[in-house]
Amino acid sequence: MVQKIENGIFIRDVETKNIMTKSSLPVGGYSVNPYVGCTHGCKYCYASFMKRFTGHTEPWGAFLDVKHWPAIQHPQKYRGQRVVIGSVTDGYLPQEVQLRNTRQLLEQLKGSGAEILICTKSDLVLRDVDLLKEMGKVTVSWSINTLDEDFRADMDKAVSIERRLNAMKQIYDAGIRTVCFISPIFPGITDFKAIFERVRNQCDLVWLENLNLRGGFKQEILDYIAEKYPRFTPLYHAIYNKKDRSYFYQLEEQAAKLAAAYHCPFVDNELPYGRAEPGHPVIVDYFYHEEIRDSKNTGQRKLK
């Protein structure tokens, strides 16, 4: 096993028998993660639970396992299936420049007929525009939950919001379906209306997802709010300690009104693959993942 420390990141090679994993995500199909760990080190990252399966003692964001897998045999068996690249990592981490795992994965899936969804916080995806344009049904999603670069820098070590937005515009103009994933929405901090107005002419979909505090990072985020945004401390206490959802119910109502004002569809389940009318992206509500019926990956919430 090759191990090294590079720019403060512990990196090692790992072998895996199968790179494709059946997914329980509401966006369904298969998950493919070319790496284990994520050097963006987002403070709110739900994927930090992966650490307990790796044996790593380094903090989340300070290690990366580079997967090596047998070439995908008969990729056509994934025809019509959605394949999500980057459900618990980012396929376009800075290390991808040299490692090229994601590029290799895309090359193996070319011609498969699968619907590819790439989830990223990077502009490195621009490197692979040539390949993406050959692959048919491709969607690229960027996580953007603020236009405030200072807040962004407090939360992650990924590229700037401006670089993400510029990449989104270039991919959109290349004819590839794009998503602005407003996630996670920080109550009182994330201005989803301002983000929507910034991106509505360069994306086909806007996904909304609430901040879900759990595990080891819950207290870290609450402490951050108390230090940097003390006026919101009562709100976060109500939501994350008292389980009061009224803020997010109100946010749904605001999103519905925004959609109506801009003549955009507003749904709680993504529509079939397609490009949206320019300037009128589909707004998709992915709040409350814990209530999503996962048996058919419908994305629909249970009745209250």
> What range defines the domain where residue 191 resides?
3-212+245-291
Under the banding of pLDDT at 50, 70 and 90, the label for residue 25 is low
- Output the pLDDT for position 155: 97
220 in a structural domain? no
pLDDT tens for residues 131-160?
Answer: 999 999 999 999 999 999 999 999 999 999
Number of domains forming the structure of the chain: 1
C-alpha span between 158 and 168 (Å, rounded): 15
235 in a structural domain? no
33 in a structural domain? yes
C-alpha span between 71 and 89 (Å, rounded): 20
* C-beta of residue 115 within 8 angstroms of C-beta of residue 93: no
Phi, psi for 212 (deg, rounded to 5):
-110, 105
HEC letters along 229-259: CHHHHHHHHHHHCCCCCHHHHHHHHHHHHHH
Q: Among 217-226, 231-240, 261-270, 275-284, where is mean pLDDT lowest?
A: 261-270
CATH number, domain with residue 59: 3.80.30
223 in a structural domain? no
Under the banding of pLDDT at 50, 70 and 90, the label for residue 178 is very high
Over 60: is that where the pLDDT of 293 sits? no
86 in a structural domain? yes
Is residue 64 classed as helix, strand or coil in its secondary structure?
strand
227 in a structural domain? no
300 in a structural domain? no
Is residue 125 classed as helix, strand or coil in its secondary structure?
helix
Between the two ends of the chain, the Cα-to-Cα distance in Å is 50
Read off the pLDDT of each residue in 54-69 and give the average, rounded to a whole number: 89
- Output the pLDDT for position 278: 95
* C-beta of residue 211 within 8 angstroms of C-beta of residue 235: no
What does DSSP assign to residue 292? B
pTM: 0.91
84 in a structural domain? yes
